[in-house]
Amino acid sequence: MAAAARLVSRLTLVTGGGGGIGRAVCQRFASEGASVVVADADQQSATETLGSLQTGGRGQGHMVAVVDVSSRDSVKKLVTSIQAHFFQPPLVCVNAAGITQDDFLLNMEEEKFDRVVQVNLKGSFLVTQAVAQALVACGASKGSIITVGSIVGKAGNIGQVNYAASKAGVEGLTKTAAKELSRFGIRCNCVLPGFISTPMTDRVPEKVIQKMKSLVPLGRIGEPAEVADVCAFLASDDSRYITGASVEVSGGLFIG
């Protein structure tokens, strides 16, 4: 995909920016001219992402931030530090931090259920709220908040009762945020990846990967860049009349 310049002057916060999809989002956004805040729980992977980003555009600069999206204090510090560094809040936010802690429903421990919901759902809430509050407070005329859900939030998935519930939750959160924030010019959308090749899915046994692949109408596992392309569209004015939407990036997995 040829680089465009749709995101020049769009300061962008990417949580999970050290991970597979988050890193691809940071790279795609930087290649389109955005300044990027690479935020992650893992400083090392976030710093590696930073080192891979294109720079040199007019006024373009990037930074790394360590954050635990499940902590209100940590998220508040993150947004404050971005405003101190760039003298403005992020105009675009991509919520890509996420975890899995899989088990069957009959065995799922309460702690595993709670932790996945805390990071994936509450984390998306805290970041969305903090960014929206900062945008409204500074009188920004527009913003775009993109949350990475999952196709399994719609379809369910064996062994992922906690994860599927958290991802169904982010869709409801996003649709509600879209309704409440549209009067401030802030659009909120989800992308719903299917099975994408990242460190998260590296842990999945080969047997399961082959089975998943056989279920994908397009016949292959997706690449992080293919999710990033859709995030860039949703961040840009090309999607200016889209809010409250969920875009499936799944190769057709679980069409329904």
Task: List interacting residues with ligand NAP (CB under 6 A).
Answer: 15-16, 18-22, 40-42, 45, 67-70, 96-99, 119, 123, 148, 150, 193, 195-196, 198-201
Tokens for 199, please give them: 């460190």
Please say which residue, 89 or 193, places its beta carbon nearer to ligand NAP. Answer: 193
Which residue has the closest beta carbon to ligand NAP?
19
Please say which residue, 13 or 178, places its beta carbon nearer to ligand NAP. Answer: 13
Amino acid at 225: A
- Taking the C-alpha atoms of residue 1 and residue 241, their distance in angstroms, rounded to an integer, is 23
Q: Which is catalytic among the residues 163, 188, 228, 234? A: 163
Please say which residue, 11 or 41, places its beta carbon nearer to ligand NAP. Answer: 41
Nearest to 220 by CA among 229, 228, 210: 210
Provide the b/e sequence for 78-114 (b: ≥16 CB within 10 Å).
bbebbbeeeeebbbbbbbbbbbbbbeeeeebeeebbe
Count CB neighbours of 168 within 10 A: 18
Closest approach of ligand NAP to the CB of residue 33, in Å: 23
Catalytic (active site) residue 163: yes
Contact predicate 221/209, CB 8 Å: yes
Closest approach of ligand NAP to the CB of residue 14, in Å: 10
Please say which residue, 42 or 237, places its beta carbon nearer to ligand NAP. Answer: 42
Please say which residue, 86 or 254, places its beta carbon nearer to ligand NAP. Answer: 254
Closest approach of ligand NAP to the CB of residue 102, in Å: 12
Nearest to 78 by CA among 34, 46, 32: 46
Q: If DSSP codes are grouped into helix, strand and coil, which group holds residue 167?
A: helix
Contact predicate 40/94, CB 8 Å: no
Closest approach of ligand NAP to the CB of residue 84, in Å: 20
Q: How far is CA 32 from the centre of its chain?
A: 17
Distances (CA, A) of 4 to 7, 218, 229: 8, 26, 11
Which sequence positions are flagged as catalytic? 163
